[in-house]
Each structure stands twice: as C-alpha cells, then as structure tokens.
Amino acid sequence: MAVKIFVDPGHGGTNPGAVANGVTEAQVNLSVATYLANDLRNLGYDVRMYRTNNDENVISPIAADLRKRAQTANEWGADYFISIHSNSSVNPAANGFETYVYRLGSRSAQLAQSIQDTVVAALGMRDGGVRQANFSVLRNTNMPAVLVELGYVSNPTEALNLNSPAWQQKVASAIADGINKFVTGQQS
C-alpha cells in the first residue's frame, strides 16, 4: 500500500494569509502544494490535498479551520502531514526557507531537516533551519508533521520568486525530493 501524504495549502477562503509585494500567500501556498502533490504522486505516493481551490473545505473561525485540517489528515490515516505556508516580517530584508515542527528531536524534525537540506541546496536560499512551534496543525496531527515557510512575501526579491510558476515548481520538486529521501531512508 502506498505511503499516504497529506498536503495542506495554508489559509484560503476569506483568509488570504500574508499579503505584500503583490503576493497573496493563500494563492502561492495552493500553487506550490499542487505542484508538490503532483510530484509526490509521480514518486508513487498516495496524496490528498486539503483544498484544491481557494475555498474548498475552508471554514470559520480560523481556530476551527486549523483543527479541521489536522482532523481530516488523522481520519484519512495519513503517514505524513505537510503544511505549505509563506512567511512575512516587518523587516523587508528578512529572507530564507524555514521548517517548523511541534518537537525538535522527533521524526517530524528528521523529516523537516531532510526537506530543509534539500531545498536550501537546490535553490540556494538562506537556511532558516528547523524550528519548534506550537502550531495547531502540528500539535493536533497524530503523524509526523512539518510546516514549511517557503520564503518571505515581505522581501521584494523573494516575493518575485513566490509569484513565479517556474520557482514554485522548483521549490515543490525540492520539497518532494526531501520527503522522498526521508521516507525511503526510513523504509530501507
């Protein structure tokens, strides 16, 4: 049976996420998540996306929406959970690729490190590292779960990349490679 990977494009519905420099986070997250889902399917994984358009499955308030995302992955029996987000800062110079997990030193953190290393090597981004965060989707999922921050919408250079379909495909492929390296390493 194929390994099941749940891909969660952050935000959507009436919640656009971070908006700056002509970038709307919810749209970028969906684009990258769609490329990622396709790449993972091509690698033989069973993939489910939480939403495949702006509004699908998104509910209010946000806290309930986040719980529903984790609950949907739990009920499906996902083996891994990947949430796709884009970052923002009041400092326009802030940049780089970051991953978040509920606990450092966990299998989630090992998966995050594989994603982190693969993306930084493939795209030459600043390595923001694997970080700990008490995010709802990480806390409420019962499988290894990683939240990816693709780059900063508030950084003019990274904003151009985030809006570029070619860059979106490239970062998605690197995330898929990082996941695949970890999963195949676990199985061998």
Residues serving a catalytic function are 149
Closer of 110 and 132 to Zn ion (Cβ): 132
Which stretch of DSSP H or E encloses residue 86? strand 80-87
Q: What crossing angle do the helices spanning 25-42 and 165-187 adopt, rounded to 10°?
A: 50
Query: Phi-psi region for residue 93, left (φ > 0), alpha (ψ -120 to 50) or beta?
Result: alpha
Q: How far is the CB of 83 from Zn ion (least distance, A)?
A: 8
Is 51 one of the binding residues for Zn ion (CB under 5 A)? no
Q: Do the strands 19-20 and 23-24 form a parallel or antiparallel pair, or are they unpaired?
A: antiparallel
Which conformational region is residue 140 in: left (phi greater than 0), alpha (psi within -120 to 50 degrees), or beta? Answer: alpha
Q: Which is nearer to Zn ion, 83 or 113 (CB)?
A: 83
Q: Which is nearer to Zn ion, 65 or 79 (CB)?
A: 65
Site for Zn ion in 71-110 (CB under 5 A): 85
Q: For Zn ion, which is the closer residue by CB, 10 or 144?
A: 10
Task: Report the 10 Å Cβ neighbour count for 64.
Answer: 12
3-state secondary structure of 73: helix
Residue that is written with structure tokens 């690729």 in the block: 97
In terms of residues, how long is the chain? Answer: 188
Residue nearest to Zn ion (CB): 85
CB of 147 to Zn ion, least distance (A): 8
Both tokens of 39, joined, read 């790449």
Among 59, 66, 61, 69, residue whose Cα is nearest residue 7: 69
Q: How far is the CB of 25 from Zn ion (least distance, A)?
A: 5
Number of residues that bind Zn ion (CB under 5 A): 3
Span 1-40, contacts to Zn ion by CB under 5 A: 10, 17
Task: Give min distance, CB of 42 to Zn ion, in A.
Answer: 26
CB of 165 to Zn ion, least distance (A): 20
Query: Considering beta carbons, is residue 51 or 85 the nearer one to Zn ion?
Result: 85
Residues in contact with Zn ion by CB under 5 A are 10, 17, 85
